[in-house]
Amino acid sequence: MTPLLPGEQVLWQGRPGGGVPADLSNPGRLLFGFAFVAFSLFWMDKAMASGPIWLGGLPFLFIGLKLSVWQAWAPRLRAKVAVYRLTETRVLVDLVWPLIGTRSAVMSPGPSTIVERSGGPATITLRHQVAGPRGNATESLTLLRLDEADHVMALIRQMQRNAA
């Protein structure tokens, strides 16, 4: 998990609410991915008679699996491993994957940070512009399916006021 700065205290900690549905918002991509998987398996099966050339089909199989299975189930898996924390100055999102390790994202909301709330079980998205060597980019951080969204929004708004 992301270490806290000296003197920093956690004001709120939570996880996404249960029941995150699979992402079926792009059925065309899912069907294309499944077709890619089917063709890859067919090609690999036919190529096995020619020796190790069938291994050339593995990258295509993995691409098809990413387009179909991973795209649909990634939000559900991320929700199971996500831990959200709010301190006085930062919003921390840690994805604690069992075999991969922890992936962290941190944002310090300021007055120019756009904070949006959407959905039934509320999702809060924070966005702000970041200047980089290649120009401006939008940095975003999303807290999915929060049961205590009103409390979290109040804490984020307080962070924005304190940063001004």
**What are the structural domain ranges in the chain?**
10-17+84-163, 27-77
| Torsion of Cα atoms, 86 then 149 then 84 then 70, to 10° | -150
* Cα–Cα dist 82/92, whole Å: 10
* Cα–Cα dist 116/83, whole Å: 20
pLDDT, tens digit, for every residue of 47-106?
998 889 999 999 999 999 999 998 888 888 888 899 999 999 999 999 999 888 999 999
Q: What is the mean pLDDT of residues 123-151?
A: 89
pTM of the model: 0.75
